[in-house]
Amino acid sequence: MTRIIAIINQKGGVGKTTTTANLCHALAELGKKVTVIDFDPQGHLAVSFGIISHNLSGIDLALLKEKTIEEQVLPVRENLQIIPAGSKLKDVEQMSNTGSPRGVMLRDALRGQLTDQDFIFIDCPPSSGLLVANGLIATQEILVPMASDFLALQGLSHLMATVKRFEGALKRQYKISVVISRYMSTRRISGQVLNILLSHFPNQILATVIRETALLAECPSFGQTILEYSPKSRSARDFRNLANDFLENRVMTNDNK
């Protein structure tokens, strides 16, 4: 069974793309077959893997039914492939009604595709528009990167309201996991935010905290993940541990914090 996971948070800059790129590479290193969909028209995920071509097509044409998803796959590392955003993805959000329901484009495009994959991750844009709706309708699982600052908490109720709305409409519940993505242990607010998150998401926060480091901010400019840019760094270790947490469902509890 292929697990399909949407990486969502309507707030920008919280570490969605960083988490997607590095977690997916760590899972691929563990031998899992992983496909990542760059669902943000900005195309930063592709850049993170060193793909800099601007006239790529990708998930855009698959949503528009001009290509199949499998035709749009680009191998980037061993066991890891990406479906780029494509230059028309930004138009999809503004698409006029074409007759078919617009929220199910991704779900339909994925049907019967990539069945040999262990995981399909969808790196969603920072919005709550049509693309995110497509991401939520196509998946059973969501992974929410949370930066540990006060403003991150402000967006949380909006995010959870969105998720609840989709759960109600789809008549099913998501498996929800949270990643603490930009943790600064020297800041008291980080610990305070983490405690609040623990009470909101009992047994849903993955055990490993991703710390804020200069290396993690640097590696996309070299088109490398942290596992390549600095494989022995603590950030590489964070992501390897996070990959194991994800596979084994290891979560934080109030007492191991």
Ligand X SMILES: Nc1ncnc2c1ncn2[C@@H]1O[C@H](COP(=O)(O)OP(=O)(O)O)[C@@H](O)[C@H]1O
| Pair 223, 49: CB distance under 8 Å | yes
By the rule CB under 6 A, 14 interacts with ligand X: yes
Paired with 119 in beta bridges are 3, 34
Inter-CA distances, 169 with 143, 159, 163, 164, 165, Å: 20, 16, 10, 9, 6
Residue 189's binding partner among Mg ion, ligand X, none (Cβ under 5 to 8 angstroms by kind) is none
By the rule CB under 6 A, 182 interacts with ligand X: yes
| Pair 8, 135: CB distance under 8 Å | yes
CB of 199 to Mg ion, least distance (A): 27
By the rule CB under 6 A, 17 interacts with ligand X: yes
By the rule CB under 6 A, 126 interacts with ligand X: yes
What distance in Å separates the CA atoms of residue 225 and residue 228, rounded to the nearest whole number? 5
Strand order in the sheet with 141-146: 74-77, 80-83, 34-38, 119-123, 3-7, 141-146, 175-180
Query: Between 198 and 242, whose beta carbon lies closer to Mg ion?
Result: 242
* Residues 9-38, mask of contacts with Mg ion (x by CB under 5 A): -------xx---------------------
CB of 99 to ligand X, least distance (A): 32
By the rule CB under 6 A, 217 interacts with ligand X: yes
By the rule CB under 5 A, 235 interacts with Mg ion: no
Query: Binder to ligand X among 80, 146, 216, 252 (CB under 6 A)?
Result: 216
